[in-house]
Structure 1
């Protein structure tokens, strides 16, 4: 789609139906009112929740019901802010949701302390003796494990009150990159104008005219830099907010809290170390690209250029749906049927529209009852197809989960594994069915975020080192740190004046330690797709892991799926190199 349409200008079948959740904004308001009143039910258990198993069960049943309602309120409110970043009513509902979330946190703030006081032995005796309590055993085990990090009820209530304030820097960063971003225009080689948004930038940087690519790159950074000091301050506050939360909860750092005691810090370090010590495939990639472009030195505006001449295939959304369903055949007919059902129900917001959030190419939203939706900015190309297939992996995980609302639909740390499995299956299908191999492998190569993920891990670690040393995170300091990491980990790319602004392009509003999930996800996803194709992994085993959702520990999931994460990273590096062999 060459022009960005208005939302009303799109046919209804390409817009999601928020009415799946609530018939109208007023219905959302009514549910929010009822939710606020229901919190008294949770408060009523304070001081007696661990008197006996029946009381604990009654509290958890009510808690789960309320948690499920909360997730529906959140998804509907978030859909509103995604489809129109300037909609003040949608923003107001999101603010109200955050307030309700804080009130719910306060309403159950006594629970962790009560469980810790009762002790594991007493709680486990309740589980063994009380019919129906077993379904909450994984949630209770997690809460008991977290007992060492459970502040007092008073502190938890204060944290709940501060949630909105602590999250404010992230919202500021999102606003700066979306609603308050005045997209620049640049002149094309044919003298027409191109508007550079976070979405169109990706496509424009694949244009064959190098001077034009440079104009696109610099115009986008120039516009971001208009608020460079504000971004730097907001990012600093964002990082310190995460650190403050972690400290209050008794963790050594924000990373320690992100890993949560269920992901070995040594494994986290090993993932990064394995990639940093094996940059040769990336260096080879950049060398091959330099030769392909006929340039001595690659610059940032060259690095997104394809290896393959000519335009890749155009893939309308309806065709994309057929492709994805077919690509998922190794997961079984029942799985494919569920995908088709989801796609037929207007749960996907397909195309970029004016005022829509464009910072991300795709996002899956899901309630704790498995009601899933996809936010896309679909551009009818291979890269968009991959993002669509990826986000559909998240949605199918939610749809498949049978975990309680208290456990959640996604297991800790594995949230990206199954979406990248989708991508790897897609690559195999496209190659096997005659799609142009060069374009497919070129796209697949760019969708293996091993190196970019580890660069972000390194950048965040370096930035936290500045904070720990008491150094202010100015825009200049962030820029210097960013370029240092890029130079160390992007062999074959030249960084010069102006490139220090590149940190502003990143997803600054996300959890600062999110990127290890992508390193783990892409590696394990490639391994799982290979095992499925070879028959070494039964689809039923895969489905079983999805069904357990957040009730399953990462170690148990790795064991069931036959995965060793470090080996998976090593193998993924080999896959990356193999794609280069095909493209060379």
Structure 2
């Protein structure tokens, strides 16, 4: 399972000199020793994985013999998956502590290499299962009660049968995995380890080095010159590498198209959505609904321009808090306490598990030199979940904590209540758990203030969350749709084409009320999510679903909370659309998206009524 990232940029240290890891108090570091106490222990598991892979490969040609042989193969696959996910998570998270550390660069590469060997070893499995007549598969399931655990897995394989290749071809694709993962790996190393930003001037007039973690903090400055300088320095740096970054991203898109075509899909987008059994209409409905509601975004931008007293609103002006005179400083420990209170509608058990986890080695809190930027949650079956932060003492970072804690609790409940085969869940539902926590935090904070200025601050923050998660991620999703379609039609993804396309989208989304600065055209080059194809739209659908569910939790009480917790416990035991339908939201309808966009519009009006009295 890949790490679950928060969509909004953030993280970083407020200190001028980024800390080295040894200067951070151990209570604010995650405890990766809970996975492996040493690299030697990791190596031992690696050897076991290779042996299990050989054992699984030895079953090739035998799956149709009996239900017992099929069960043995599926159990071996689970054992391999569980061990390999632990190995990969440990190696990657150790590397994420310091991307310049050669030991964990090498361990991550080794994990990738072993994963490819395992994929080759089990490449026969799916094609061979699908060669068994469906009537025989059904008789196996009927005859062996232990095999019935895998009924949903087998049904899903049958659903996707047309896109599964013969064994030899599946083995060839598996062998190519290490090569085809290269674009994302190259971008990660370039972006986190090699890319160096210039010195800029901060709010105090002092020179500091621009970092990923400090960028958004600088854009939130009340000094437009500080915002502009940081914005231009960021994109000038990426622009200096535009040819390399276009080549890397272009290779990633070509990889997506290659896999979709060899599997017989009409497009890379269709292939990506089919994994979750999500209709392409859900993706298109999202884009259409957001375009319908762009006037609400423009209304918000116009309010921002009026309140900030700007003749022209630039893209570097849209992150500054509108209630700029309020300095809300929230140390990490205070954030932990406040988030713990906010999630009380989900019940005492949820609260207790979350609070205990945050004090028990789940979280790596502060930015340090070489550490991967941003925030994510990750976990491996058999160990507690983990959270990476780059915490600053800000309201936004408290919301990031709530967001990642939502992911972590989803992982906790899923792992506690599902066997390994169904313990993973898709991003489509993952973003519901994270943004539901954010919605509960917003409600808690708004309910506990009578200060109009604080209320305005919180409304502004929630509007920014919706702007960043619903509008911005949908714009990203549309960019992905355009880039893949262009390449599928034979077009070249040159830096010029990518930048022109991205700039036009920004004009569509922001141009009615905002100066669309030329520098923004290169922003596509710094978005890591683009290397996980057709991923970002799930942030937008997720926040729409969570808006509906959080309202049910707050309005309907324990019954709705119990339904929600059952959703968290369900893991990947059904398709995401069905899991959400059971929880009370129909995402095949555009209504949850429209309702969230309507909430955005009404909150703009409420904010205006406070700020323009």
Give me the TM-score of the superposition, normalised by structure 2. 0.92
Match of 1:441 in 2: 459
Residues 325 and 560 of structure 1: CA distance in aligned 2, closer, same or farther (over 3 Å):
same
Match of 1:339 in 2: 354
Residue 189 of structure 1 deviates from its aligned partner by 5.7
CA distance in 1, matches of 2:206, 2:481: 43
Q: Does 1:368 align with 2:381?
A: yes
Residues 533 and 191 of structure 1: CA distance in aligned 2, closer, same or farther (over 3 Å):
closer
CA distance in 1, matches of 2:167, 2:107: 28
CA distance in 1, matches of 2:142, 2:352: 38
Residues 56 and 504 of structure 1: CA distance in aligned 2, closer, same or farther (over 3 Å):
same
Residues 430 and 184 of structure 1: CA distance in aligned 2, closer, same or farther (over 3 Å):
same
Match of 1:19 in 2: 33
SS of residue paired to 1:414:
helix
Aligned counterparts, 1:358-397, within 5 A: 358=373, 360=374, 362-369=375-382, 371-397=384-410
Residue 85 of structure 1 deviates from its aligned partner by 0.8
CA distance in 2, matches of 1:136, 1:467: 38
Q: Does 1:349 align with 2:364?
A: yes
User: For the Cα contact (< 8 Å) 1:173–1:508, is it kept in 2?
Assistant: no
User: For the Cα contact (< 8 Å) 2:427–2:535, is it kept in 1?
Assistant: no
User: For the Cα contact (< 8 Å) 2:257–2:488, is it kept in 1?
Assistant: no
User: For the Cα contact (< 8 Å) 2:379–2:386, is it kept in 1?
Assistant: yes
Aligned counterparts, 1:155-170, within 5 A: 155-170=169-184
| Match among 290, 296, 299 for residue 275 of structure 1 | 290
User: For the Cα contact (< 8 Å) 1:171–1:509, is it kept in 2?
Assistant: no
User: For the Cα contact (< 8 Å) 1:368–1:404, is it kept in 2?
Assistant: no
Match of 1:319 in 2: 334
What is the number of residues matched between the two proteins? 582
CA distance in 1, matches of 2:402, 2:202: 31
CA distance in 1, matches of 2:240, 2:27: 38
Q: Does 1:455 align with 2:470?
A: no
SS of residue paired to 1:447:
helix
Match of 2:104 in 1: 90
Q: Does 1:209 align with 2:229?
A: no
Q: Does 1:5 align with 2:19?
A: yes
SS of residue paired to 1:194:
strand
SS of residue paired to 1:364:
strand
CA distance in 2, matches of 1:386, 1:524: 18
CA RMSD of aligned residues (A): 1.7
Match of 1:134 in 2: 148
CA distance in 2, matches of 1:555, 1:168: 32
Q: Summarize deviations over 1:54-103 as a string: whole Å, max 9, x none.
A: 11112222221221111110110111121111111101111111111111
Q: Does 1:548 align with 2:561?
A: no
Identify unmatched segments of 5+ residues in structure 2. Answer: 1-13, 609-613
Segment of structure 1 superposing worse, 379-388 or 552-561:
552-561
Match of 1:409 in 2: 424
Q: Does 1:572 align with 2:590?
A: no
Match of 2:539 in 1: 518
| Match among 531, 539, 561 for residue 583 of structure 2 | 561
Q: Summarize deviations over 1:529-554 as a string: whole Å, max 9, x none.
A: 00001117522211212222111212
SS of residue paired to 1:413:
helix
CA distance in 1, matches of 2:205, 2:357: 43
Residue 134 of structure 1 deviates from its aligned partner by 1.7
Q: Does 1:250 align with 2:298?
A: no
Residues 148 and 369 of structure 1: CA distance in aligned 2, closer, same or farther (over 3 Å):
farther
User: For the Cα contact (< 8 Å) 1:526–1:572, is it kept in 2?
Assistant: yes
Q: Summarize deviations over 1:476-520 as a string: whole Å, max 9, x none.
A: 111111111110122312124333222223235531311110111
Residue 370 of structure 1 deviates from its aligned partner by 5.7
CA distance in 1, matches of 2:82, 2:285: 37
CA distance in 2, matches of 1:313, 1:84: 30
Q: Summarize deviations over 1:101-133 as a string: whole Å, max 9, x none.
A: 111111111111122111332222212220211
| Match among 512, 533, 558 for residue 554 of structure 2 | 533
Q: Does 1:74 align with 2:92?
A: no
Residue 190 of structure 1 deviates from its aligned partner by 4.3
User: For the Cα contact (< 8 Å) 1:263–1:413, is it kept in 2?
Assistant: no
Residue 561 of structure 1 deviates from its aligned partner by 1.4
CA distance in 2, matches of 1:471, 1:84: 38
User: For the Cα contact (< 8 Å) 1:81–1:91, is it kept in 2?
Assistant: yes
Q: Does 1:218 align with 2:218?
A: no
Residue 526 of structure 1 deviates from its aligned partner by 0.9
Give me the TM-score of the superposition, normalised by structure 1. 0.96
CA distance in 2, matches of 1:415, 1:250: 28
Q: Does 1:497 align with 2:515?
A: no
CA distance in 2, matches of 1:270, 1:86: 42
Q: Does 1:469 align with 2:469?
A: no
Match of 1:284 in 2: 299
Segment of structure 1 superposing worse, 28-37 or 199-208:
28-37
CA distance in 2, matches of 1:133, 1:316: 50
SS of residue paired to 1:494:
coil
User: For the Cα contact (< 8 Å) 2:403–2:437, is it kept in 1?
Assistant: yes
Q: Does 1:179 align with 2:193?
A: yes
Residue 412 of structure 1 deviates from its aligned partner by 6.3
User: For the Cα contact (< 8 Å) 1:331–1:539, is it kept in 2?
Assistant: yes
Residues 476 and 412 of structure 1: CA distance in aligned 2, closer, same or farther (over 3 Å):
closer
CA distance in 2, matches of 1:372, 1:50: 38
